């Protein structure tokens, strides 16, 4: 089975530009998670969806961040406008429902804002 | 108090030794527990899950859970240099659907 697919793998852009990160979850998984990882703060949950509906976005740092899941096989995380402090690795993960179900991570997008 | 706590390390063990990684959690009614391994520059990879008190073995890995003391540990027997990575403990709390809370990870170095 294909794993979680993220694109792009690397993104370098200038401050103020819009950034869009993409994720395709594992087929059949009804939960999708967006995380950000930095050396200072570790792995932080930004937002998660269940059946395409956002459940908890309390981790989204500010209004510059938005996430959508228009269908079961695609999600986006947008940053507009981007700032240097947004530089991090962004991971998407998916899982089936159920208390014992693990999350499976994509390879991540390494984002650098200059 | 952090929800999930791990010693950041690095934990250094010689090749062939047993590496013991520990994790404590604050929510007494947490339900399920996961260990992820993350190599530098890579994504977290699930290596073990445990849901009931006691030990669970999978190859060289053993997960141990003690809900009364609120800790979960990971033992790696016959440690290899390829085990050198950061190990993340993740906990699913009651009532949080499929959301996991991650610790900050313990960096393991296996020396030759």
Chain A positions touching B46 (Cβ under 8 A) are 102-104
A43 vs B31, B97, B102: nearest CB: B102
User: Does B2 contact chain A (CB < 8 Å)?
Assistant: no
Retrieve residue A97's tokens. Answer: 């429902």
User: Does B71 contact chain A (CB < 8 Å)?
Assistant: no
Res B86: pLDDT: 97
Q: Which residues pair with A113 in a beta bridge?
A: A13
pLDDT tens, A45-88? 999 999 999 999 999 988 999 999 999 999 999 999 999 999 99
Q: Which residues pair with B69 in a beta bridge?
A: none
Chain A positions touching B107 (Cβ under 8 A) are none
Res A98: pLDDT: 84
Nearest residue in chain A measured CA to CA from B50? A100
What own/partner pairs with CB < 8 Å and gap ≥ 24 does A7-14 have? Answer: A7/A109, A8/A109, A9/A107, A9/A108, A9/A109, A9/A110, A10/A109, A10/A110, A10/A112, A11/A109, A11/A110, A11/A111, A11/A112, A12/A112, A12/A114, A13/A82, A13/A111, A13/A112, A13/A113, A13/A114, A14/A113, A14/A114
Nearest residue in chain A measured CA to CA from B106? A42
Nearest residue in chain B measured CA to CA from A38? B104
Retrieve residue B21's tokens. Answer: 């990684």
Res B96: pLDDT: 67
A102 vs B49, B97, B103: nearest CB: B49
pLDDT tens, B52-94? 999 999 999 999 999 999 999 999 999 999 999 999 999 998 7
pLDDT tens, A18-48? 999 999 999 999 999 999 999 888 999 999 9
């Amino acid at each position: 089975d294909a794993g979680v697919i993220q694109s792009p793998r690397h993104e370098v852009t200038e401050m103020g530009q819009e950034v869009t990160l993409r994720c395709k979850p594992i087929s059949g998984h009804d939960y999708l998670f967006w995380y950000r990882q930095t050396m200072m703060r570790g792995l932080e949950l930004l937002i998660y969806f269940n059946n395409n509906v956002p459940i908890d976005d309390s981790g989204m740092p500010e209004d510059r961040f938005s996430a959508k899941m228009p269908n079961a096989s695609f999600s986006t995380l947008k940053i507009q406008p981007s700032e240097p402090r947004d530089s991090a690795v962004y991971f998407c993960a998916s899982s089936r429902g159920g208390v014992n179900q693990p999350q499976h991570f994509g390879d991540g997008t390494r984002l650098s804002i200059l | 108090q952090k929800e999930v706590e791990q010693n950041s390390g690095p934990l250094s063990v010689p090749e062939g030794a047993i590496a013991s990684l520990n994790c404590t959690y604050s929510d007494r009614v947490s339900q399920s527990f996961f260990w992820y391994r993350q190599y530098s520059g890579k994504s977290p990879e699930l290596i073990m899950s445990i849901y009931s008190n006691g030990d669970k073995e999978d190859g060289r890995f053993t997960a141990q859970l003690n809900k009364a003391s609120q800790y979960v540990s990971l033992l790696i027997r016959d440690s290899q240099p390829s085990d050198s990575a950061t190990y993340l403990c993740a906990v699913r709390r009651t009532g949080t659907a499929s959301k996991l809370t991650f610790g900050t990870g313990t960096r393991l170095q296996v020396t030759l």
